[in-house]
Amino acid sequence: MGRVRPLHHAARRLLLLFPRPRAFSSSSSSAAATPSREPLHVCVVGSGPAGFYTADKMLKGHEGAQVDIIDRLPTPFGLVRSGVAPDHPETKVVLAYGAESDRSLGIPGEDLRGIHSAREFVWWYNGHPDMCNLAPDLQSTDSAVVLGQGNVALDVARILLRCRSELAATDIADYALDALRGSTIRKVYLVGRRGPVQAACTAKELREVLGLKNVHVFIKEADLVTLPADEEEIRNSRIKRRVYELLSKAAIAHKGNNNNGQKELHFVFFRRPTRFLPSEDDDGVAGKQVAVGTGEFEDLKCGLVLKSIGYKSLPVEGLPFDKYRGIVPNLKGRVLSSESENATVEPGLYVVGWLKRGPTGIVATNLHCAEETVAIILEDDKEGLFMGSSDSKKQGRRGLLEILEQKNIRFVPFDGWEKIDSKEKVAGELKNKPREKITTWNELLMAAN
């Protein structure tokens, strides 16, 4: 398989649709299993896992396929670079630009100082250029509340509590490491609306956060009591069973008070936030259980709140979008004109990843998602749906480059990313890290040039 060559431009989202574009494009050709009448030009918008999986499957599945990947950042890999915690290093037109916004709680005080989304915090410590100036206050409080109990919530809790010397050996942004070294946060509360059986994390992530050095874990035994519906969920799901077992064992192992001055991780179940106060005011069906209010309220004092209640995709002008579900309406990857029952298929337009199914699953989930979308593209190609008249024939990569030139758009080609990559790795070697990420737009563009 030929290598992927990205190009970068400055726009907020899709190439050619915004006045300040930033793109990342890859191009490649490959001999593959399925013969074809002529080359198939595919443009993938978004260079995260879903985008790269799609490019890979496309190149392997179509003889002579040519793929361009476009991104608004001068660096590829999406969540793998900016969304996965730094202490986890292992982990036609096709729309794959993912989810770059956040769900809202819709409660009073949500805009108070000290309240951030987990996505913003994750982007901050991973050196994303859009969040390098976030500067969360980690020195005015000893307590932080993380709303949510999924993998992202566990990630941010782990970063807040982990030994700083261990973080220093990762590719965490330097400014974030400095801030964490000066952090006064000693307690992190992971707050969820439902019970331990419904916790949305994986066993691997949970095991890691429960095993943090010098951290005392608090779990109320009363919260671990199960109902028949819970027990049915545990029987029917190996993941839920393993998560519940890990929480139960942790509750027993950490029984009692913290008498050693350790940092603290509190799992708080069956709680739903109703409002944020400024500092001066100092039973259901198995598998479908929802949280129901009891009429009881409590205050939880903290100086930092990170909302980990889900990512949200953003609409793009001219592109069909289901605002309720936060996805591009589609049928197995084929983009539909709307979310209505009478929707028609948009010819030559496909979707993959979070933009296709919503922000769910782990990084590897995008592999199966990409396989389905690519299979649909190959099916449509086999049916001759891309065979237009000679005068309406798309120009592919050549047409893309012509448009960039006509609009006088600066972009970062693949060798520009290679320069960024090389500079980050060299800087990282000096600090015994995998890389030292470049975290501002200006520095990234200077390094690329």
CA–CA separation, 441 and 279 (whole Å): 35
| Per-residue model confidence (pLDDT) at position 35 | 45
- Residue ranges per domain, the chain? 41-99+314-411, 101-311
| Per-residue model confidence (pLDDT) at position 302 | 79
Q: Which residues are part of a known binding site for NADP(+)?
A: 149-152, 193-194, 205, 361
101-311: CATH topology: FAD/NAD(P)-binding domain (3.50.50)
- Residue stretches of the chain with pLDDT short of 50: 1-36, 90-92, 281-286, 288-294, 389, 391
- Tens digit of each residue's pLDDT (9 = 90 or more) over 276-327: 888 764 444 445 444 444 456 677 777 788 888 777 777 788 888 888 888 8
Reduce the DSSP state of residue 185 to 3 states and report it.
coil
70, 15 Cβ separation under 8 angstroms: yes
DSSP annotation of 10? B
| Per-residue model confidence (pLDDT) at position 445 | 92
The CATH number of the domain covering residues in 41-99+314-411: 3.40.50.720
Q: Which residues are part of a known binding site?
A: 50, 79, 149-152, 193-194, 205, 354, 361
| Per-residue model confidence (pLDDT) at position 84 | 62
Handedness of CA 343, 95, 84, 369 (dihedral sign): positive
- Tens digit of each residue's pLDDT (9 = 90 or more) over 222-241: 999 999 999 999 999 999 99
CA–CA separation, 41 and 30 (whole Å): 12
Does 101-311 match 41-99+314-411 at the fold level? no
The distance in angstroms from the start CA to the end CA of the chain is 27
CA–CA separation, 352 and 244 (whole Å): 32
Which residues lie below 8 Å from residue 37, measured CB to CB, with a gap of 6+?
387
- Characterize 354-384 residue by residue with b for buried, 16 or more Cβ atoms within 10 angstroms of its Cβ, and e for exposed: bbbbbbeeebebbbebbbebbebbbebbeee
pTM exceeding the 0.75 threshold for the entire prediction: no
Q: Which residues are part of a known binding site for FAD?
A: 50, 79, 354
351, 333 Cβ separation under 8 angstroms: yes
Which residues lie below 8 Å from residue 38, measured CB to CB, with a gap of 6+?
64
